[in-house]
Amino acid sequence: MSKPLPNASDFLPGPVLLLGAPGVGKGTQAKHLVEEFGIPQISTGDLLREHRKNHTPLGMMADELMAKGQFVPDDLVNQMVASRLKQPDTEHGYILDGFPRTLNQAEWLDGQLVAYLLPVVAVSIVVPERVLLERITGRRISPAGRIYNIYTNPPKVEGICDVDGSKLEQRADDTVEVFHERMKAFNQKTAAVIEYYREHGNRFAEVNGDQDIDDVTRDIRSTLLKLRHHPEA
Ligand code: AP5
Ligand code: MG
């Protein structure tokens, strides 16, 4: 039996990176960690979708690239993250979901983090590729960002959010074709980022994402305690 975990008030994880291929559960897990630790989730995918919704120049540009499963240029994403990291709610840490995705973004982030007392820790969520397609094509999202899956994590009433009754939507890039492009971009660019953090052995860990959502959350939590050398780890 694993030991009970300390209360959130005893432990702040500091800056955390959630890394992994499309559909491994970065967003799902980030939301659980936000609830538990009270530090914000910063999802570059969500921020870009927000820009798209607001028709900003960045949003218009990102729209085309995201629809093809390609990455938005590093400089633009880095700037967007820089302005988010200036907000006061990041003072005690944050969960970066989907960033960095290129070596250039990882090196840029290293430069930003010098002001933090705690170094960044990176958790790579690992799921076999054959499982990911079903996760992506089955995903449904509420306008408030709650994440469901028609196969693995369905809402109580089809098409309706359990929490606020809103209508669930499907992401435009959650098609079979775009999924393959997103996997290609992941393998070509983001796999190297995972190796970059793996080389910092004491600040990196892998978690098995191919288990129940709550079990993944439990493993990420205990991994964070270990990476931060918490006495109860
Ligand atoms: P982004 O929105 O980050 O997409 P992604 O990386 O492809 O990841 P996803 O959001 O698809 O998956 P996830 O890991 O969050 O999984 P989730 O928890 O939802 O980025 C989109 C695009 O924006 C990119 O393609 C790019 O164009 C651009 N972009 C973003 N960041 C960028 C950057 N840094 N640089 C450049 N461009 C950038 O779960 C998936 C499904 O699985 C859900 O249905 C969920 O219910 C289900 N599920 C989750 N966990 C489990 C489980 N344990 N068991 C069963 N089902 C599960
Ligand atoms: Mg996500």
Strands ordered across the beta sheet of 204-208: 41-43, 93-97, 14-19, 121-126, 204-208
Q: What is the pLDDT of residue 114?
A: 66
Dist CA 197 CA 96 (whole Å): 14
The CA-atom distances, in angstroms, between 88 and each of 23, 92, 150 are: 29, 9, 37
Residue with the nearest Cα to atom 25 of ligand 1? 69
Q: Which residues hold their Cβ within 5 A of ligand 2, which is an ion?
A: 27
167 catalytic? Reply is no
For residue range 79-94, list pLDDT tens digits in order.
999 999 999 999 889 9
Indicate whether residue 152 lines ligand 1 (CB < 6 A). Answer: yes
For residue range 179-196, list pLDDT tens digits in order.
999 999 999 999 999 999
The answer to whether the peptide bond before residue 100 is cis (omega within 30 degrees of 0) is yes
- Global model pTM greater than 0.75: yes
Within the chain, all domains assigned CATH 3.40.50.300 are found at: 13-127+202-233
For residue range 15-60, list pLDDT tens digits in order.
999 999 999 999 999 999 999 999 999 999 999 999 999 999 999 9
Residue type, position 25, single letter: G
pLDDT bin (cut points 50, 70, 90) of residue 8 is: very low
Which CATH number is associated with domain 13-127+202-233?
A: 3.40.50.300
Indicate whether residue 71 lines ligand 1 (CB < 6 A). Answer: yes
198 catalytic? Reply is no
Residue 58: CB partners within 8 Å, gap ≥ 6?
48, 51, 72, 76, 80
Residue 198: DSSP 8-state: H
130 catalytic? Reply is no
Indicate whether residue 51 lines ligand 1 (CB < 6 A). Answer: no
Mean pLDDT of all residues in 106-130: 88
DSSP H or E run through 220: helix 213-227
Indicate whether residue 14 lines ligand 1 (CB < 6 A). Answer: no
Ligand 1 atom closest to Cα of residue 46: 2
For residue range 186-232, list pLDDT tens digits in order.
999 999 999 999 998 789 999 999 999 999 999 999 999 999 887 77
pLDDT bin (cut points 50, 70, 90) of residue 9 is: low
pLDDT bin (cut points 50, 70, 90) of residue 12 is: confident
